[in-house]
Amino acid sequence: LRNGSIAIESINRPRPEMIMGMDLQQAFDLLAASLDGVAAAAIGPLTVDWYLNDTGELNNTVRLELSNGTLHSLPGATHASADVVVHGNRSQLNRLFASDATGVSLLDEGAITAEGKTDRLRALFACVTDFPRFYNIIEP
């Protein structure tokens, strides 16, 4: 610590096994923690219903709400009228975290589909950031 932190440029993504072990709440909490809040706040309020077709869980829907740059999720619930409805498989959601895939690339390749205000969903996906593996904890 006397000489400062080690400067190593590296992005740390969770291992695929870890992502597969997460329930839907944990997975969408990870998505929320990955958001650039300032950029997301510029999008304004957004409601999303995400349907996961292959989870095998009783609650295969997730209600998402973007408000003041923060993303909130509630598995097993939907909005009365969402701005965007997303359909996809859990395996594609896992790719979002464990690989170089982005939400926009998943939409473009048809791995997930969206109906409604898809331009705003694309803007939300653009706010998802990769965190560096090493960062200053002690140093200002």
- For residue 101, the model assigns a pLDDT of 84
- Per the document, the length of the chain is 140
Within-domain flag for 9? no
Q: In this structure, what CATH number is given to the domain that contains residue 46? A: 3.30.1050.10
Question: Helix, strand, coil proportions of the chain in percent (round to 5)?
Answer: 35, 25, 45
Q: Which of 128, 130, 112, 123 is nearest to 49 (CA)?
A: 112
- For residue 23, the model assigns a pLDDT of 84
Within-domain flag for 120? yes
- Domain count of the chain? 1
* Percent of the chain surpassing pLDDT 90: 49
Domain of 23?
Answer: 16-126
Torsion of CA 4, 9, 131, 20, to 10 degrees: -120
Within-domain flag for 1? no
pLDDT tens-digit profile of 23-61?
888 889 988 988 999 999 999 999 999 998 876 656 689
- Checking if the pLDDT of 134 tops 80, the result is no
Residue pair 58/83 in contact by the 8 Å Cβ criterion: no
User: CB under 8 Å to 23, separation ≥6 — which residues?
Assistant: 57, 75
Within-domain flag for 5? no
Task: Give the mean pLDDT of 10-17.
Answer: 63
pLDDT tens-digit profile of 66-124?
999 999 999 988 999 999 999 998 888 888 887 778 889 999 999 999 999 999 999 99
* Percent of the chain surpassing pLDDT 70: 78
Distance of CA 39 to the CA centre of its chain: 14
